[in-house]
């Protein structure tokens, strides 16, 4: 298991009038090479959970073990963990700040103290992995790019750290259809070509249906359902009770197939839903 979570609890603002239990006894195993969709209505705890995975939030109680390392222990090297688990926040382009794409993507590897040659090769590879042309984009300002391109540059900055696990929190939020396709397409090829473990947080059932092979459903701070994509989508009634509508998926699948797209074998089809 690349990620193991045991009895994880998290309370915001404990002992104050704003106290809020956001995670309640989470137990989870994620295997290397999994492509997980983490879904659940707003406020169900998805962001709180993923921020635990690279030590951004420390648990109120419980254990998180990443690649055999207990990251909840006091001796842990958080820098090492953040390199292993790359977290792409919502609207990551807001964190672009350098004057060129190259410098932005190089920021993380530079902080790792790597040699210039190694930095350059990582930056080039990361930019190519997100489907951008290195030579024509490296000297441009990130601020003059399209929404989809900006977001891909931000993702490249995380990939340049060579993470073993990539966590993407709502990676297509706010993008136009073209930008969405660009970003999702690159995430899919990253998974297929690089074999990286991916956790995709999304409230878009469409994105989830297109991509992932396992789903975790959160509800009120707990893991309510867990299983293969098609198994989860079959339980329409239960999903609806959690505010996750199957009609959306059915409609999407119809349109998706109408456009002549193939539906992956391990993904649910309309007829089965």
Q: Which residues bind ligand ADP (CB under 6 A)?
A: 12-13, 20, 22, 40, 42-48
Query: How near is the Cβ of 144 to ligand ADP at its closest, in Å?
Result: 31
Closer CB to ligand ADP, residue 45 or residue 109? 45
CB atoms within 10 A of CB 41: 14
Query: How near is the Cβ of 219 to ligand ADP at its closest, in Å?
Result: 10
CB proximity list for 111: less than 8 A, separation 6 or greater: none
Closer CB to ligand ADP, residue 39 or residue 159? 39
Closer CB to ligand ADP, residue 51 or residue 188? 51
CA 62/CA 166 separation, integer angstroms: 22
Question: Among all chains, which residue has been given the structure tokens 């998974």?
Answer: 191
CB atoms within 10 A of CB 111: 12
Find the distance separating the first CA and the last CA of the chain, reported in whole Å: 30
CA 221/CA 141 separation, integer angstroms: 40
Closer CB to ligand ADP, residue 40 or residue 86? 40
Evaluate whether 30 touches 197 at the Cβ level (below 8 Å).
yes
Query: How near is the Cβ of 40 to ligand ADP at its closest, in Å?
Result: 5
Query: How near is the Cβ of 33 to ligand ADP at its closest, in Å?
Result: 25
Nearest to 109 by CA among 93, 94, 125, 97: 125
Closer CB to ligand ADP, residue 44 or residue 229? 44
Query: How near is the Cβ of 9 to ligand ADP at its closest, in Å?
Result: 12
């Amino acid at each position: 298991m690349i990620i193991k979570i045991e009895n994880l609890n998290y309370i915001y603002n404990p002992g104050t009038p704003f106290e809020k239990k956001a995670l309640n006894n989470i137990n989870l195993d994620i295997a290397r090479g999994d492509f997980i969709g983490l879904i659940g209505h707003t406020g169900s705890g998805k962001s709180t959970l993923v921020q635990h995975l690279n030590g951004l939030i420390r648990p109120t109680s419980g254990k998180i073990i990443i690649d055999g390392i207990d990251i909840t222990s006091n001796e842990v090297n958080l820098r090492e963990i953040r390199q292993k688990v790359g977290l792409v926040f919502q609207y990551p382009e807001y964190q672009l700040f350098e004057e060129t794409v190259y410098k932005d993507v190089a920021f993380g590897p530079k902080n790792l103290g790597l040699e210039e040659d190694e930095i350059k090769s990582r930056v080039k590879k990361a930019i190519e992995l997100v489907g951008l042309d290195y030579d024509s984009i490296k000297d441009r300002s990130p601020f003059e790019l399209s929404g989809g391109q900006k977001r891909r540059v931000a993702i490249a900055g995380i990939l340049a750290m060579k993470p073993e696990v990539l966590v993407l929190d709502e990676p297509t939020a706010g993008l136009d259809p073209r930008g969405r396709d660009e970003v999702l397409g690159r995430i899919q090829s990253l998974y297929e070509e690089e074999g990286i473990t991916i956790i995709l947080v999304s409230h878009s059932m469409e994105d989830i249906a297109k991509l992932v092979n396992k789903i975790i459903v959160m509800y009120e701070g707990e893991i309510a359902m867990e299983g293969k994509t098609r198994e989860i989508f079959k339980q329409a009634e239960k999903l609806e009770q959690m505010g996750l509508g199957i009609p959306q998926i059915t409609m999407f699948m119809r349109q998706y197939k109408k456009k002549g797209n193939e539906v992956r074998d391990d993904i649910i089809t309309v007829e089965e839903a």
